[in-house]
């Protein structure tokens, strides 16, 4: 009989041998790929590493030798934002290609690229480069949808969903956004000339979820409507409350089974959060199906008349043999619930955080507020009537849209677009032919794409702007205006694959226009008669911060970001007035 020690040694030998084997297989694939590669003898897919590496990042950076951290950091989630172009410059460029690299580990074979040609090709071929199966654990929780599906199922759903997001929806999003922003201004400033608040970012969250409720589900919510806070009989929470709980948990606890959440011990940390999430996960699909049934009955009673919201339009589009979709299979009930969930979750998180970065950037760079004011005053004079018409106003707001594009360039909500291969693939570019093995995860590095000096440096400089060797790292919305302008201002169109905040190709985000309309409407209303600025804090000596100190603090705030579902700043949400947490901003009336 072998001794216990011999068994342990044998098992360790087998385990270590399997790691070496996987490393050698990945090394073989890396050499065959034609891409630069970096050997990191580490398992980036280890569960504990996935959970703890992100919070440990600052400690690792302080305590590991630089050479060790530089390599290990490439296996930590969020490397794109925290390391920017360093891995490409440090490891890929010396191997003759500063646009892409593979990491050779004992885990899965992974490729990271910021090559616009590769990005465009990957996004052009959704059947070869598919959505990650892991995405389904988080975003497919309530049913199949356009984000998590692949192949024929995705194509069918996409055909239906793409037809739903039309100008009727855009008009509703515009009016809802104006209405909600009016509520924010009334609460913060009211009849006064100026007011300070720590909760402007929470209010942006509130605007976004209310707009999605109105434009998405047809449930209009007044800014201070307490009636909507009461659950319907038999429910623990309202639809809006359920959405809020689920979205806050989408990057973590959402993958936990409902039975675990429901039976989580009351004496353990996190009980309140997980218990609320348990009810939210049960009640969100119930609320959604209830609204679908109510809308079906309303449509039937009005002889097929639909309303200008996504739920109503989706029900109409899902009818088999209807209009342009004749011959296409209708969405199932489960697919409708799944896609309504995706519209809400993706739309809420991306828009909220983009608004937050935009407000902070305008507070940091007041000259760009003045630049935006010029446009707003030209299309919406101070004495203009309160009503704003989407069809006439939105196309004129070119500078506001350029502002949005620049915010998304520097703070892209999705720091990478992950794809996976089920079979070996080839990609031909001007740099050569590259081989991608089966079961490879390829990360399209949006941060790297959007900071490529070859594309963005000194692009479309205005007459009074000078060239800079770091221009691509700076916030400059004028780079989006074609220079010199034609009869009317034109938005710059980047090279294919160079700018992908909404992805690109057949799987481009169907909610792109909705996001643009909502952002534009909120900023038109917010800055029509107001400006925003950061409130200086008192230093240790009791004196107020200088402007330079305020700017440094705002820069540090934006750097202190983490990628959850999307990229977001730390400690700006769920803030109580007067607490240390948060960031105090001042809204004041313009002269």
DSSP assignment of 274-290 equals HHHHHHHHHHHHHHHHH
- H or E stretch covering 63: helix 47-63
Predicted local distance difference test score (pLDDT) of residue 574 = 84
The region, left, alpha or beta by phi > 0 then psi within -120 to 50, assigned to residue 571 is: left
Predicted local distance difference test score (pLDDT) of residue 400 = 97
Predicted local distance difference test score (pLDDT) of residue 148 = 87
Does the N-terminal peptide bond of residue 484 adopt cis geometry, omega within 30 degrees of 0? yes
Q: What's the pLDDT band for 326 if we cut at 50, 70, 90?
A: low
Highest mean pLDDT among 166-175, 297-306, 420-429: 420-429
From the CB of residue 300, how many other CB atoms can be counted at a distance below 10 Å? 10
Average pLDDT estimate for 262-268: 83
Predicted local distance difference test score (pLDDT) of residue 327 = 52
**Gap between the Cα atoms of 90 and 292, Å rounded:** 54
From the CB of residue 546, how many other CB atoms can be counted at a distance below 10 Å? 11
Predicted local distance difference test score (pLDDT) of residue 222 = 84
In 505-537, which positions are buried (b, 16+ CB within 10 angstroms) versus exposed (e)? bebebbbebbbbbbbbbbbbbbbbebbbbbebe
Highest mean pLDDT among 171-185, 297-311, 471-485: 171-185
Average pLDDT estimate for 18-37: 95
* pLDDT of 68 strictly over 90: yes
Predicted local distance difference test score (pLDDT) of residue 227 = 45
Half-sphere exposure for 302 (CA within 13 Å, toward CB): 12
Give tens-digit pLDDT for 521-567.
999 999 999 999 999 998 888 899 999 999 999 999 999 999 988 89
Q: Could you write out the DSSP letters of every residue in 372-415?
A: HHHHHHHHS-TTS-S---HHHHGGG-HHHHHHHHHHHHHS-SSS
Highest mean pLDDT among 4-18, 174-188, 232-246, 340-354: 174-188
Any idea what DSSP says for residue 92?
Answer: I
Return phi, psi of residue 570, to 5°.
Answer: -80, 145
Average pLDDT estimate for 485-513: 89
- H or E stretch covering 232: none
Half-sphere exposure for 486 (CA within 13 Å, toward CB): 5
From the CB of residue 104, how many other CB atoms can be counted at a distance below 10 Å? 23
User: % helix / strand / coil in the chain, to the nearest 5?
Assistant: 55, 10, 35
From the CB of residue 370, how many other CB atoms can be counted at a distance below 10 Å? 12
Q: What's the burial of 238, exposed, middle or buried (CB within 10 Å: 0-12/13-18/19+)?
A: buried
Average pLDDT estimate for 217-223: 82
Predicted local distance difference test score (pLDDT) of residue 277 = 86
User: How far from each other are the two terminal CA atoms of the chain, in whole angstroms?
Assistant: 91
**Gap between the Cα atoms of 193 and 207, Å rounded:** 22
Q: What's the pLDDT band for 347 if we cut at 50, 70, 90?
A: confident
**Gap between the Cα atoms of 416 and 395, Å rounded:** 30
Return phi, psi of residue 425, to 5°.
Answer: -130, 155
Any idea what DSSP says for residue 466?
Answer: -
Predicted local distance difference test score (pLDDT) of residue 325 = 47
Predicted local distance difference test score (pLDDT) of residue 229 = 62
**Gap between the Cα atoms of 364 and 547, Å rounded:** 10
C-beta separation of 281 from 258 below 8 A: yes
Give tens-digit pLDDT for 374-420.
999 999 877 765 567 898 999 999 999 999 999 999 999 999 999 99
Any idea what DSSP says for residue 56?
Answer: H
Q: Is the whole model's pTM more than 0.75, yes or no?
A: yes
Q: Report CA-CA distances (Å) from 141 to 77, 145, 157, 212.
A: 22, 10, 17, 19
* pLDDT of 322 strictly over 60: no
The SS3 call for residue 127 is coil
* Beta-bridge partners for 425: 436
Question: Residues for the chain: how many in total?
Answer: 591
C-beta separation of 424 from 437 below 8 A: yes
305 or 183: which leads in pLDDT? 183
């Amino acid at each position: 009989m072998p001794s216990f020690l011999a068994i342990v040694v044998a098992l360790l030998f087998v385990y270590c041998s399997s790691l070496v084997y996987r490393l050698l297989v990945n090394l073989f694939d890396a050499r065959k790929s034609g891409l630069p590669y970096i050997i990191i003898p580490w398992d980036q897919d280890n569960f504990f590493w996935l959970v703890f590496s992100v919070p440990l990042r600052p400690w690792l950076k302080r305590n590991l030798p630089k050479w060790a951290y530089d390599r290990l950091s490439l296996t930590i989630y969020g490397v794109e934002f925290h390391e920017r172009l360093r891995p490409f410059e440090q490891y890929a460029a010396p191997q003759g290609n500063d646009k892409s690299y593979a990491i050779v580990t004992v885990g899965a074979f992974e490729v990271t690229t910021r090559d616009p040609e590769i990005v465009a090709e990957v996004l052009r071929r959704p059947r070869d480069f598919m959505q990650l199966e892991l995405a389904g654990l988080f975003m497919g929780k309530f049913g199949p949808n356009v984000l998590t599906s692949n192949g024929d199922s995705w194509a069918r759903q996409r055909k239906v969903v793409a037809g739903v997001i039309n100008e009727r929806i855009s008009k509703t999003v515009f009016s809802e956004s104006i209405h909600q922003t009016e509520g924010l201004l009334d609460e913060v400033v009211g009849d006064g000339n100026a007011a300070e608040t720590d909760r402007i970012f929470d209010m942006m969250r509130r605007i976004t979820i209310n707009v999605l409720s109105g434009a998405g589900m047809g449930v209009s919510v007044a800014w201070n409507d307490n009636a909507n806070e009461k659950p319907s009989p038999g429910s623990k929470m309202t639809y809006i409350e359920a959405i809020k709980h689920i979205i806050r948990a989408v990057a973590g606890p959402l993958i936990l089974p409902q039975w675990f959440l429901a039976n989580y011990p009351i004496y353990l940390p996190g009980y309140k959060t997980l218990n609320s999430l348990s009810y939210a996960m049960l009640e969100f699909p119930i609320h959604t199906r209830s609204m679908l049934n109510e809308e079906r009955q309303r449509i039937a009673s009005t002889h097929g008349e639909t309303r200008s919201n996504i739920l109503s339009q989706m029900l109409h589009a899902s009818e088999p043999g209807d209009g342009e979709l004749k011959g296409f299979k209708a969405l199932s009930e489960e697919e409708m619930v799944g896609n309504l969930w995706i519209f809400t979750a993706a739309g809420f998180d991306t828009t909220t955080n983009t608004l937050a970065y935009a407000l902070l950037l305008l507070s940091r760079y007041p000259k760009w507020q003045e630049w935006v004011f010029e446009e707003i005053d030209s299309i919406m004079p101070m004495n203009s009537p309160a009503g704003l018409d989407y069809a006439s106003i939105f196309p004129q707001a070119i500078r506001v849209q350029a502002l949005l594009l620049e915010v998304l360039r520097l703070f892209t909500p999705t720091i990478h677009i992950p794809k996976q291969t089920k079979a070996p693939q080839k990609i031909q570019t001007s740099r050569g032919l590259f081989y991608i093995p089966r079961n490879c995860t390829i990360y399209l590095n949006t941060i790297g794409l959007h900071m490529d000096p070859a594309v963005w440096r000194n692009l479309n400089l205005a007459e009074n702007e000078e060239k800079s060797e770091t221009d691509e790292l700076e916030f400059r919305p004028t780079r989006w205006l074609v220079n010199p302008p034609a009869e009317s201002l034109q938005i710059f169109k980047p090279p294919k694959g160079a700018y992908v905040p909404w992805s690109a190709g057949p799987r481009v985000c169907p909610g792109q226009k909705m996001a643009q309309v909502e952002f534009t409407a909120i900023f038109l209303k917010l800055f029509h008669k107001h400006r925003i600025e950061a409130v200086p804090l008192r230093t240790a000596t009791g004196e107020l911060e200088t402007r330079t100190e305020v700017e440094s603090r705002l820069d540090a705030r934006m750097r202190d970001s983490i990628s959850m579902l999307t990229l977001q700043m730390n400690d700006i949400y769920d803030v109580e007035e007067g607490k240390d947490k948060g960031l105090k901003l001042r809204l004041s009336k313009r002269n």
